[in-house]
Every structure is written in C-alpha cells, then in structure tokens.
A and B are shown apart, each in its own frame.
Chain A
Amino acid sequence: MSTIHDEIEALRAQYPDGRSAVMPALQLAQACNGGWLSEQAFRDVAEALDLTPAYCLSIASFYDMFRLEPVGEHVIEVCTNVSCGLKGAQAVVDAFERELGQRAGETTDGFTLRTVECLGGCGWATVVAVDNRHRLHVQAGDVPRLLAELRGIDWEEPDGDLDA
C-alpha cells in the first residue's frame, strides 16, 4: 500500500462517488512525487480508488496542470494570452529564455519554463506563475531578480515587491 493511500481515502470520503476523488488524488500524488506523475503514481492512485492506471492517465492527460514528465525544481509559467500579450508578455518570455539559457517548453534540472493560457490576472499583466504562486505586473527587467531569488542568491537592486 502506498504512503498516500490513507490521504486518498480521506479525499474519497468527501464525495458520494469515489471516482470524483481522482483529480484531488492525482494532485496529491503529483505533489508527493516532485511535481509530476510517474507510472508508480498512477498505480498508487488507481489502487486507492479502485480504478485502473489507464483510466487515471486518461484523466491526467486531459488537464493542463498534470505533468507526465519530470519537471525542474522550479516551474515557471508565463501567461501569453491576449491581455498579458498586450502588456509585453513575450518580452518576459524572452528574458526568461535568455537568463535560463533554455527555450520555453524545456526542462532542465533547475527549471521548467513554459508559456500557459490565461491565468486569470489579466488586469495585473504580465502574470507569471512560479511554482503555482502568481507574480503580478512582471516585466522583462524583473526577471534577473526573480531568478536570483529562486536560486537563493542575494539581489541588491532596490525595486518594488513582486509578490502578489
């Protein structure tokens, strides 16, 4: 029995039908597995919910936030939908690519960088999700400081607070 079996049982108890717990269970499994879903993670969820691993994979592959491949220590997601685009989101993407030396869509040990659809912060563009927490009003010039923060490096430049 997996280490998350009991927690999934608790999630399952919230619903009249245990199948409803598949998304929360996959979210839990992903969080406990370094941010992605391995074959073992699907087996664990399936076993706890009396589903098949294939069924759980069919759910995970539908939703954008489930990851089927390993991710970096930090996941950086830049919204490039219309409102953020109008406010310079692509310059933010370009800055991340330049500073990290990797293209959007790629993963290294340290970082996964990708662009995403609307994060629901349109009036506070550009919105960047860093490990699922949203940074608002991000501009290209903020990127070096943000990355220094994630790398645990001191950053001297006095600037406004990026945190939402």
Chain B
Amino acid sequence: MATSTPEIVFAGTNGGALTDMADYEAVGGFQALAKARSMAPDEVIDELNVSSLRGRGGAFFPTGRKWSFLPKPDTLDKPHYLVINADESEPGTFKDREIMLRVPFRFLEGALIAAHAIQSKHVFIYIRGEYEAEFELLVASLEKMRARDLLGEVTIVVHRGAGAYICGEETALLESLEGHRGQPRTKPPFPAIAGLYAAPTAVNNVESITTATSIIEIGGAAYAELGVENSAGTRVFSLSGNVVNGGNYELPHGYPLRDLIGVQGGGIAGGRALKAVIPGGSSTVILTADEANRVTLDFDSLVGAGTAIGSAAVIVIDDRCCMVQLAVRVSQFYQHESCGKCTPCRVGTKWLTTILQKIEDGRGRQADMDLLVSVAERINGKCLCPLGDSDAIAVMSYFDKFRDEFQAHVDEGGCPYHDSSSLDNLLAPVAQHVHEHAPVPA
C-alpha cells in the first residue's frame, strides 16, 4: 500500500500489524483512552461532532450525533449498551476484517472510548461467524487488556454470528444478539431509545469505532481537516474485482476513483478495458467506465453521480463481464439472504432472479424486460429494511445503463458473450440444491 497519504485507522503499522501490546503502546496506544476518561462523556461526544466523523458501515450517519441520541443514564432505570457491528457481509467489503487483524487494540480502545461517551458498561461486538481467526485474535487481545486492567468496569463480549447477511442491518443484529432469528424490527423506536433488550443502544461499525480512537488522540479539528467537505477524514477502501492489486487502501475522502484503480490498484488486470465499477458495495448503483473516471470517492461526488459511497467497497469490472450475468448473480445473493419477513423482498428477489436468468438463458421475451422493471418497483421502498431495495436498485442500474446488452439477449435468443463472459456458469448457493443431483463432470 502506498503510504504517501495520511493514515488514521492504520497509523503506525507501516503496512504490518500492531497485534503486540508493546508495539501498540510504542506508537501511543491507549493514550487516547486515558485522555477520553479524563474528559466528561459529553466532551468526548463534542470532539466526535467537531471531527465530522460519519458512520463507516454504509449509512454515513454522524457518529457523535448518534451517541448524543441516547438518553442520559440518570433519566431511566435501564443500562446502556454499546453494540459494535463487525458483521461485515456486504459483497465487496473486507475492511473491518483487516482493521481487526492489524489494529485490534486500536479498535478495542475505541470501544472503551465509545462506552465512556455513552456511559455504558456493557459492550457487545457482533462479529460475523466466518471471521474465525479475527474472533480468536479479538478474544486474545481483550484478555491482554483485561490483564492490564484497561477495561475498568466495562465488560466486552465478543459474540459470533453464524452466516446471515441480514444481521448487518442494525435491528436484525440486535434481534440475533437477543437469541432470535435475525429479522429486522420496525423503526421507530430506534436503537438509541429501545435497542438491545429494549434499552438505549448505540450501534457502530468497526471502522467508525477505530477511527474514534484516533480522533481523540489527534483532536476532532485535526481530523476534520482531512478529506473534503461533507466527507471528513480517511476511509479504508476495499478494492476488488479485475484489478492487479486488490486489497484495502486507507485514503482521504475525495480521492479520485480512477486513481484508486490505476495508481493504488495497479490498473485493470490483463490489460483489459474497464467496463463498469460498483463503488460502494453490491447494494449501490453501478457506474459506467466514463462515470467512474469522473467521480471522486466521497459522499457528494458519488451522490451527484446517482450512486452512494456505501461501505466503500469498490468492485472493478472489465469488458469480459456480461451485465445480465452480473445481475443474476447479485440478485441470487439477495434472494439467498432475504430473511423472509416482508413479502415484497422474500418473493420479489426470487422473481428478479428468475426473470434475469430467463433473459440470460435466451428464453426471455420483450415482455420480460417490462416485468423486470415492474417487479423491481414492487419491492423498492416497500419493506422494513433495505435488503430487497438493494437488489432492485442494483439490478435496475445495470438494466438502465447497459440496456443494449439486456436487449441483445432477447433479440439474439441467448447470451451475446457465448460462454466467454467472466461470470459464466457461476454456481450460486441458491442454485446449489438443484445442481447437486446432476452427474459429476468427467
């Protein structure tokens, strides 16, 4: 990773990991915690407000403001909870994992700072079940902090998920943490008022919490100077797909997308041409190559281009990819992960997949193009959480921007790529139960 840009989350790592407590302390580790604890809780929240930090999970909600929504502890007879969302599952996103692996103490220090800010004694870290090595490292790191008496009166429980994308949605996560199926709740009430066990709860992303440590260390004003207007600070961008050097890159907001791909990522692999970019995780609107070359990686620029920064997961797609196949695969994901609570999502995601597969297989008629639009409209905005919307929005953006390609499938009665697309025959988990009874290939 190029280190000419400022590092906040990964500061002091020199490209490596600070998993040894002494190494972390040598770069100033745990000084922010001492500083925060010498401040009143409201002063910590003020510092976060000055920093303009906005949530790194995908919703970009101001972190300090979120904390300020919790009622003061002396006004009600319930404990406060801090729940950290480490259920990173948005396709394309793998930053929280690297943060936990490389700066576990900075992350856990941030958890204690946040707990102090919202006056909570109980922290739960909900980590996705697939992150087994990360879970073990967090538990071991916590043990070292406990031995050094850094936790004070705060308990931190690391709770493993078990494979459900929907649990990244905060109310589904809380349901799951309470021992239920991970199905979203109606909002309001919002978690700040009635979250975990119906008590006031702040739910924050791993990167937000880790950044909070650095903000207390360097001061909110210094942090706010990084980045661009409405998008302060740095961001850990997850770069994947058809680039030479996939990986996580911490860069200031406002960094040009074309440079993330061309400079940081080493360009398109195999000398192919750029076709499209998914800029903020699979739920976001796709950008054509032309659009991608014009935007910068911040809230305003991406909203201006009709998409979103989301989880800052940039998926690069070269010219070998069939957009109908991409739509099928993305829709299969949302179909698989729909929790089943809201009918438009449960039924609609399956319909989208079915129609798209029909078009891809060359069985699609002109009317199916209209049906696709109709089904998407019947999902969008009609459910408790954005999962179904994400499928509809993503797929319709491919349809709108690459309509000629969809039309060619109908006109030619098959995929114009003729088995040469990079996503040919990709076996999604939802298709597996059909597939497993087929004979083994020779």
Interface centre among A23, A90, A101, A114 (most CB of B within 10 A): A23
A121 on interface, CB distance cutoff 8 Å: yes
Q: B59-100: which have CB < 8 Å to A?
A: 79, 88-94, 97
Q: Whole-angstrom distance between the alpha carbons of A64 and B336 in the complex? A: 10
Task: Tell me how far the C-beta of B331 lies from the nearest C-beta in chain A, rounded to whole angstroms.
Answer: 11
Q: Is B350 an interface residue (CB 8 A)?
A: no
Q: Which of A21, A102, A117 has the most CB of B within 10 A?
A: A117
Assuming A81-B333, A102-B440, is B163 touching A123 (CB within 8 A)?
no
Please measure, in the bound complex, the distance between the C-alpha atom of A102 and the C-alpha atom of B93, giving whole angstroms.
Answer: 31
Partner of B161, one of A63, A119, A125, A134: A63
B56 to chain A, nearest CB (A): 15
- A122-B162 contact in complex given A98-B441, A115-B429, C-beta closer than 8 Å: no
Q: Check B435 against A81 for contact (C-beta < 8 Å).
A: no
Instruction: Find the A residue at minimum CB distance from B96.
Output: A120
Cα distance A89–B91 in the bound complex, in angstroms: 14
- Chain A residue numbers with a CB within 8 Å of B278 are 82
A19 smallest CB distance to B (angstroms): 3
A24-B159, A66-B162, A101-B440 as given contacts; A83 in contact with B92, CB under 8 Å: yes
Q: Is the CB of B157 within 8 A of A104?
A: no
Is there an interface contact between A82 and B435, defined as CB atoms closer than 8 Å?
Answer: no
Binds A, one of B124-132, B210-218, B294-302: B124-132
| Residues of chain A from 86 to 111 with CB closer than 8 A to chain B in the complex | 86-90, 93-94, 97-98, 101-106
Q: Is the CB of A22 within 8 A of B313?
A: no
Residue numbers in A under 8 Å from B313 (CB-CB): 122
Instruction: Judge whether B241 is part of the interface by a CB distance below 8 angstroms.
Output: yes
B333 close to A94 (CB less than 8 A): no
Q: Among residues 254 to 283 in chain B, which have CB atoms less than 8 Å away from a CB atom of chain A?
A: 278, 282
Q: How far is the CA of A65 from the CA of B87 in the complex (A)?
A: 14
Inter-chain CA distance A64–B165, complex, in Å, is: 10
Q: Mark A122-164, 1 if CB is under 8 A from B, else 0.
A: 1111000100111000000000000000000000000000001
Give per-residue flags for B147-182: 1 if the beta carbon is below 8 A from chain A beta carbons, else 0: 000000000010111111100000000001111111
- Expressed in whole angstroms, the Cα–Cα distance for A130 and B128 within the complex equals 17
Q: How far is the CA of A159 from the CA of B157 in the complex (A)?
A: 40
State whether B329 touches A81 (Cβ < 8 A): yes
Q: When each residue 324-357 of chain B gets 1 if its CB lies under 8 Å from chain A and 0 otherwise, what string results? A: 0010011001001101000000000000000000
Q: Which residues of A contact B181 (CB under 8 A)?
A: 58-59, 62
Q: Which residue of A lies closest to B133 (CB)?
A: A133
Binds A, one of B22-30, B104-112, B418-426: B418-426
Q: Which residues of B contact A66 (CB under 8 A)?
A: 162-163
A115-B429, A123-B246 known; A59-B180 Cβ under 8 A: yes
With A82-B91, A120-B128, A122-B238 known to touch, is A103 a contact of B436 (CB < 8 Å)? yes
Q: Tell me if A72 counts as interface (CB < 8 A to partner B).
A: no
Answer whether residue A33 sits at the interface, using C-beta atoms and an 8 A cutoff. Answer: no
Alpha-carbon separation in the docked complex, A85 to B91 (Å)? 11
A90 x B179 contact (CB < 8 A): no
- Does chain A have a CB within 8 A of B362? no
Give, as a whole number of angstroms, the nearest-CB distance from B198 to chain A: 11
Candidate in A59, A118, A119 with the most chain B CB atoms within 10 angstroms:
A118
Contact B427 A93 (CB under 8 A): yes
The reply on B428 being an interface residue by CB < 8 A is yes
Contact indicator B315/A82 (Cβ below 8 Å): yes
List residues of chain A with CB within 8 A of the CB of B197: 16-17
B240/A118 in contact, CB under 8 A:
no
Q: Could you tell me the distance in whole angstroms from the C-beta of A42 to the nearest C-beta in chain B?
A: 14
Is B438 an interface residue when CB atoms closer than 8 A count as contact? Answer: yes
Q: Out of A64, A83, A103, which one reaches B241, CB within 8 Å? A: A83
Q: Are B132 and A133 in touch, CB under 8 angstroms?
A: yes
Task: Establish whether residues B239 and A123, one from each chain, have CB atoms under 8 Å apart when the complex forms.
Answer: yes
**Are A103 and B435 interface neighbours, CB within 8 A?**
yes
Q: A16-B197, A23-B159 are in contact. Are A118 and B89 (CB under 8 A)?
A: yes
Q: B177 to A20, Cβ gap below 8 A?
A: yes
Contact with A along B238-251 (1 / 0, CB 8 A): 11111000111000
Is A114 within 8 A of B432, CB to CB?
A: yes
Known: A20-B177, A86-B241, A123-B248. Is A14-B162 also a contact (CB below 8 A)? no
A87 to chain B, nearest CB (A): 8
- Residues 42-98 (chain A) with a chain B CB within 8 angstroms: 58-59, 62-66, 80-83, 85-90, 93-94, 97-98
**Closest residue on chain B to residue A127 by CB atoms:** B94
Given contacts A23-B179, A115-B429, A120-B94, contact A103 B438 (CB under 8 A): yes
Show 7 residue pairs from A and B whose CB-CB distance is below 8 angstroms, ordered by the A residue: A24-B160, A59-B180, A82-B330, A83-B315, A86-B423, A90-B423, A105-B436
Known A-B contacts: A81-B329, A83-B315, A118-B165. Give 7 more (CB < 8 A): A80-B428, A86-B315, A86-B317, A93-B427, A118-B92, A122-B93, A134-B130
Chain A residues in the interface with B (C-beta under 8 A): 14-24, 26-27, 58-59, 62-66, 80-83, 85-90, 93-94, 97-98, 101-106, 114-125, 129, 132-134, 164
